[in-house]
Structure 1
Amino acid sequence: MKSVESIHKGYRISNFVSRVVIAAGILFLVFTLFYAFQNSVVFIGTSMKTAGILLGATILILAAAYFITRWLSPVQFIILLVLVGFGLRLAWILSIQTPPISDFLDMRNAALSAARGDLSFGSNEYFSRWVYLLGFTMYEALITKIFGASLAVLKVFNILFNVGTAIVIYFAGSKLFNEPCGRIASLLYAVYIPNIIMCSVLTNQFLSTFLFALGCLFVVRNGFTSKYSWTWIGLLFAIGNMIRPLGTFFVIGFVVFALLFKLLPAENSRRVPILTRTIGAVAVYFIVSQIISYSFIYSGVTEYPFKSQEPYWKFMVGLNQQTVGGWSQEDTDYALKYKLGEERNQAELKLFKERLQDKNAVLSLFVKKFKMMWGSEDASVFWSLYEINKPNLGSFLVKTERVMYTSVAFFMLISLVFLFVKSERKEHLLFLVLLLGYALVHIVIEVQTRYRLDILPAFLILQSYGIYILYTTLMKPFVKKQPAAAGA
């Protein structure tokens, strides 16, 4: 009797927590939508004009959702997804020759050296500070070694991984909600402006996002029932972390999801398998991460562990009032005055603590950072059109991105409202936990709007249900409602 009561109690607690998480998501979306609309007005014109364009975009998206779910078979849709995704991106990189700059240039030059067998760059100041950038650098070196030094080859690989992520989103959305939701989410990912135009930039975000998204797909498909999926989860998160240092964040999100929404409401007979597979995935992640780290050290690429040697840097910069938590040349100059290691770390920690002293200023900064991170225009236009004189194209792309992003925020708000009211399976909460956690972390650390691309799959998967609900409701006389996935 106690066992049954315990299970019911755990189930009730899990349901309560899920509602709290969804409510937090709704609050996040209310502010995001408000700030995104405000920012859109800056680029589009008056509030009325912006609202009218957004209404038109909403109708267009609903009509597209109707078409792709009503008239295409699954195979036909996948073909369309690949053709649209690859075609748009290929056209962009062939017409826009974005030169590598900033960190992208540093990694590119180091990759060229590595391809020639020269690994001396691993001991310079840049890669000694940011050791985790060596993973993507060596990936670029491998591609260069095999296919040659053409920038176009690396950009084509950007396309392949980006389209691959769209396919992963299709399967994840189909599993979480239903097949139409998978189609909606993946097609929006394929036509989302920043995804397309950033393919001409040598960013590490496309490969890492693909790996993290694929790891999440293993979680929601059968991560707690399959004998081997947990190994793939840990492995993919670890390799993704080698490319972009977000692996620990995804592991923490996975553990929170597993404990609150899988283990807590489970029957006693299922708790041990869930717990052991969760622990197993975490163990694989840390073991593989250590293997990667020591491999770079033993191969002579670097003498430092595979992580940032300045753990307080992003926190210190994140509290910079002048740059609203963005990168600062002044902070860079301050840090470089001190020797790399404990001396520099203590200097950065000291400045971080000083910036925390004015509590009112810090709270005001947090609001400004949220507004910039989740409401402002994406920086992809800057990175893609850097030193390319196409102001009219840039203006058009910014306006289009603003309309798409604001529309997506609206659809996601609708989705979460319905998910709060209606009892659904809990797998979708993995992506909401990740999204909210990502937003919370960036309240404190350094922010850039291009960082939104790292969590975009979660955003689009969650909002797809809102589109599905709207188009099946508004077009009910014309649409036969698709059956939901089992358990949804």
Structure 2
Amino acid sequence: MMSNQTIADRTTTPPDEALPVRTAPGTGAHVLTRVLAVFGVALFGWMLWHSAANTAVFFDGGWTIALAMLGSIAAALLLTSVADRWMKRLPFVAVLLLATVGLRLAWVLAVDTQPVSDFLDMYAAGVSAANGDVSFGTNDYFSRWVYQLGFAFYEALLIKLFGNSLLMLKLFNIAFQAGTALVIYRTAALAFNDTCGKMAALLYALYVPNILMCSVLTNQHVSTFLYFLGLMLLIGRSFSGKAGWLFVGLCFGVGNLMRPLGSFFLLGFVAYVVLIRLVPSIRERKWPALAAKTIGVLAVYWLVQQGASFALVQSGVTPYPLSSQEPYWKFMIGLNPQTNGGWSYEDTLYVLQFPLGEERNRAELELLKERLRDKRQVAELFVSKTKTMWGADDSAPLWSMPDQDRPALQKKLIRAERIEYLTMALFGLIAMAVLAIRGRGSPEASLYMLLLLGYAALHVVIEVQTRYRFDIMPCVFVLQSFGLYAAYAVFKRRWGVSAAGG
């Protein structure tokens, strides 16, 4: 919170004090921060440029977009001022939870979203499992994507405990998003400062796709909460304690049972430890403890996966281990120029003619190699995919309203999402520029830059959907909050100079 110093005093605040941020120890960490921030400038600049082009499709003219953007920026700065000056932590948490839960509950009650596609397969499996029938484990869907069984049994547990109600499952979606909002608040506060934490969480609460997806029975609600809870524990004091590593490993392990992104977050975790935490630990002679905790996280994660896989196989639910039986599928789809790296019905029909196992994997690998032969086409596809992944409008309205003929409402929701996304891309660009110029930043911020950049790189080669942004958007909320705070600090100083002078 701000002190009670006078406006004239605040105008003399040195630049580094005006933008408080925990500093990563060591010259090497500063270099890494600067390198990551430069790549971050490129990514957020890409997001801003291509999302601006996409946004123009949904508005009547450039002036409309400009006015909407100015209104959004002004609203964000006003909220930052209110949060910084007048909202203590506990009242803010109350407001945050009220906004998060209230908006999502209103949407869930107003729009009757029925499960479709993969969500329907997992929900139907959950209903069957709750009734004691687990024969679905050997059907074609769960034989191909065995890792989806974890979420199906999560839904089965809720159905068993609370009855077969879509509303009840959606209420748990809201609960997990509320938990994620709190995690983002704490995370951004650790990475930067408390005001950044407040604004990161508040913008998460107000982000339209998050609200709409609460009525969709996707595994992303649970997994996102668990993965980012694990990251919050990692960068907080608890990881320095005796059992912090255990809870980090459990969060990543159970998160992977819900949605198979565990290997990605584990890789980010190891990169963070090696690149950011290792040198200070060597200097302070604490590296054996850090190495032991890192191994402990990996061991706990492995034990969770092996335990769940063993239980499912031994109970007769599935004959396969808890992993994808088609390791080349995502890459083969991601390199399909006909669908711009998106899901392909033709590819699905092609691979299903081969029996599951080595023969199908060979067929997918051969098609993958064939698509890699035309290097120019591959390069053009990578650029086109990245435009879509980080510039196109979010598909949340399609998933949340798949069978509802309400085009006017959909257009309004898309417009709102586009302006929010553009605003955050702008503040993200400012944040990365400030960190790149200063060359100093917190180790926590470097972790979230690593994850966001790694996720962007991964989706250059694998299947893309704008819905997949959901899984990494907490990194965007955390990082852009520093850009918003930087803009607010500049605005505050300039206003202070004017007031003091006159």
Equivalent in the alignment of 2:6: none
- Decide which of 429, 443, 462 is 1:426's aligned counterpart: 443
Residue type matched to 1:222 in 2?
R
Q: Offset of 1:47 from its aligned partner?
A: 2.8
- Decide which of 418, 432, 449 is 2:466's aligned counterpart: 449
- Decide which of 445, 460, 471 is 2:477's aligned counterpart: 460
Question: Are the equivalent residues in 2 in contact too, given 1:18–1:261 (CA < 8 A)?
Answer: no
Residue type matched to 1:450 in 2?
R
The answer to whether structure 1 residue 403 and structure 2 residue 419 are counterparts is: yes
**Over residues 201-234 of structure 1, what are the superposed CA-to-partner deviations in whole Å (9 max), with x where a residue is unaligned?**
1111000000001000011113652221111111
Equivalent in the alignment of 1:322: 338
The residue matched to 1:45 in structure 2 has which SS? coil
Q: Offset of 1:477 from its aligned partner?
A: 6.2
Partners in 1 of 2:258 and 2:121 — Cα distance? 15
- Decide which of 68, 72, 97 is 2:83's aligned counterpart: 68
Range moving further from structure 2, 180-189 or 264-273: 264-273
**Over residues 318-367 of structure 1, what are the superposed CA-to-partner deviations in whole Å (9 max), with x where a residue is unaligned?**
00001000000000001100000000000000000000000000000000
- Decide which of 292, 298, 310 is 1:276's aligned counterpart: 292
Question: Are the equivalent residues in 1 in contact too, given 2:44–2:429 (CA < 8 A)?
Answer: yes
**Over residues 379-421 of structure 1, what are the superposed CA-to-partner deviations in whole Å (9 max), with x where a residue is unaligned?**
0010011111111110000000000011101101111111122
Partners in 1 of 2:480 and 2:32 — Cα distance? 21
- 1:342-361 maps to which residues of 2 (within 5 A)? 342-361=358-377
Q: Offset of 1:265 from its aligned partner?
A: 4.1
Equivalent in the alignment of 2:22: none
- Decide which of 58, 67, 80 is 1:52's aligned counterpart: 67
TM, length-normalised to structure 2 = 0.92
Structure 1 unaligned segments of length 5 or more: list them: 1-9, 481-488
Partners in 2 of 1:22 and 1:294 — Cα distance? 43
Partners in 2 of 1:353 and 1:44 — Cα distance? 41
The residue matched to 1:427 in structure 2 has which SS? helix
- 1:195-344 maps to which residues of 2 (within 5 A)? 195-222=210-237, 224-266=239-281, 267-344=283-360
Partners in 1 of 2:466 and 2:238 — Cα distance? 31
Considering Cα pairs closer than 8 Å and 6+ residues apart, tell me whether 1 or 2 has the greater RCO: 2
Partners in 1 of 2:303 and 2:31 — Cα distance? 35
Equivalent in the alignment of 2:14: none
Equivalent in the alignment of 1:126: 141
Partners in 1 of 2:333 and 2:115 — Cα distance? 24
Q: Offset of 1:454 from its aligned partner?
A: 0.3
- Decide which of 99, 104, 111 is 1:84's aligned counterpart: 99
Against the structure 1 CA distance between its residues 43 and 221, is the aligned structure 2 distance closer, same or farther, given a 3 Å change threshold?
same
Partners in 2 of 1:140 and 1:200 — Cα distance? 14
Q: Offset of 1:478 from its aligned partner?
A: 6.4
Question: Are the equivalent residues in 2 in contact too, given 1:224–1:273 (CA < 8 A)?
Answer: no
- Decide which of 452, 473, 494 is 1:435's aligned counterpart: 452
- 1:3-152 maps to which residues of 2 (within 5 A)? 11-152=26-167
Against the structure 1 CA distance between its residues 265 and 45, is the aligned structure 2 distance closer, same or farther, given a 3 Å change threshold?
farther
The residue matched to 2:286 in structure 1 has which SS? helix
Q: Offset of 1:17 from its aligned partner?
A: 2.6
Equivalent in the alignment of 1:173: 188
- The alignment covers a number of residue pairs equal to 471
Question: Are the equivalent residues in 1 in contact too, given 2:33–2:441 (CA < 8 A)?
Answer: no
Residue type matched to 2:482 in 1?
Y
RMSD: 1.4
Partners in 2 of 1:34 and 1:477 — Cα distance? 28
Residue type matched to 1:89 in 2?
R
Query: Kindly, what percent of the aligned residue pairs are identical?
Result: 47
Against the structure 1 CA distance between its residues 479 and 467, is the aligned structure 2 distance closer, same or farther, given a 3 Å change threshold?
farther
Partners in 2 of 1:425 and 1:325 — Cα distance? 35
Question: Are the equivalent residues in 2 in contact too, given 1:129–1:340 (CA < 8 A)?
Answer: yes
TM, length-normalised to structure 1 = 0.94
Partners in 2 of 1:207 and 1:154 — Cα distance? 11
Partners in 1 of 2:442 and 2:83 — Cα distance? 25
Partners in 2 of 1:218 and 1:415 — Cα distance? 24
Residue type matched to 1:300 in 2?
G
Partners in 1 of 2:163 and 2:292 — Cα distance? 45
Range moving further from structure 2, 275-284 or 236-245: 275-284
Question: Are the equivalent residues in 1 in contact too, given 2:29–2:443 (CA < 8 A)?
Answer: no
**Over residues 435-456 of structure 1, what are the superposed CA-to-partner deviations in whole Å (9 max), with x where a residue is unaligned?**
0110000000001001001001
